[in-house]
């Protein structure tokens, strides 16, 4: 018995469907590949990278963010130390009120302790002028947390006598919502502590 042959038109129709499906799939794959390459290239062109000290590659965007944070943090610390230590009988209340906006309860506790010890009463009683001469801060980052160490040099003018002191303070920094003009940098000092205070000998002519 002879084997029947399939209709040639049916065979050609099936082959045409297969060829069309293959072409459509190949075209879609090519378009998807082109889009992926374009997308990756666009991201690469809009991004830059830097080499960390340990040899790892980090996005430059993170480097810029860190540099911006350091600038903001240094400005915040300078503003706080000026407000908290650059005081006299005429401005101490206003300056201390501004300083308290820049720190948490650790700053407020130190302020209350100084007030209890009569620091500000002596300022009024003897018309003392406490002037900040220099502020130098070092910021360290560890596991996303920021700490600082600040050296503040200031002088106390007692009229006929001027004494110069070096104060070392430490603490941490956290980010908060900006509150202009009370807290323009959006940072808050925590765990604030006065580590040491020493008198700097006056230079003799």
Lowest model confidence (mean pLDDT) among 8-17, 30-39, 54-63, 108-117? 54-63
Lowest model confidence (mean pLDDT) among 36-40, 51-55, 109-113? 51-55
Q: How far is residue 133's CA from residue 78's CA, in Å, rounded to a whole number?
A: 11
Q: Evaluate whether 193 touches 171 at the Cβ level (below 8 Å).
A: yes
Q: What is the rounded average pLDDT for all residues in the chain?
A: 85
Handedness of CA 179, 184, 187, 188 (dihedral sign): negative
Query: Which of the two residues, 151 and 144, has the higher pLDDT score?
Result: 151
Query: Which residue from 87, 193, 196, 197 is spatially nearest to 148, judged by alpha carbons?
Result: 193
The band of 143, judged by pLDDT with boundaries at 50, 70 and 90, is confident
DSSP label at residue 150: E
Residues paired with residue 169 on neighbouring β-strands, in sequence order? 150, 194
The band of 122, judged by pLDDT with boundaries at 50, 70 and 90, is very high
48: which residues sit within 8 A by CB, 6+ positions away? 59, 60, 61
Q: What is the mean pLDDT of residues 163-192?
A: 95
Model-level pTM greater than 0.85? no
Query: Which residue from 166, 76, 84 is spatially nearest to 119, judged by alpha carbons?
Result: 84
């Amino acid at each position: 018995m002879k084997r029947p042959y399939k209709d040639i038109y049916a065979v050609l129709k099936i082959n045409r469907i297969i060829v069309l499906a293959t072409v459509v799939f190949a075209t879609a794959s090519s378009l998807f590949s082109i889009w992926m390459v374009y997308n990756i290239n666009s991201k690469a062109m809009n991004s830059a990278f830097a080499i960390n000290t340990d040899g790892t590659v980090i996005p430059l965007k993170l480097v810029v963010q860190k540099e911006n944070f350091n600038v903001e943090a240094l400005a915040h610390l300078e503003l706080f130390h000026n407000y908290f230590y650059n005081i006299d009988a005429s401005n101490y209340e206003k300056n201390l009120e501004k300083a308290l906006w820049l720190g948490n309860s650790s700053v407020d506790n130190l302020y209350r302790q100084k007030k209890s010890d009569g620091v500000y009463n002596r300022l009024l009683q003897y018309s003392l002028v406490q002037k900040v001469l220099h502020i130098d801060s070092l910021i360290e980052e560890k596991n996303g947390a920021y700490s600082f160490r600040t050296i503040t040099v200031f002088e106390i003018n007692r009229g006929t006598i001027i004494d110069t002191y070096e104060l070392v303070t430490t603490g941490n920094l956290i980010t908060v919502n900006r509150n202009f003009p009370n807290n323009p940098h959006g940072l808050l000092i925590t765990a604030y502590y006065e580590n040491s205070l020493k008198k700097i000998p006056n230079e003799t002519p």
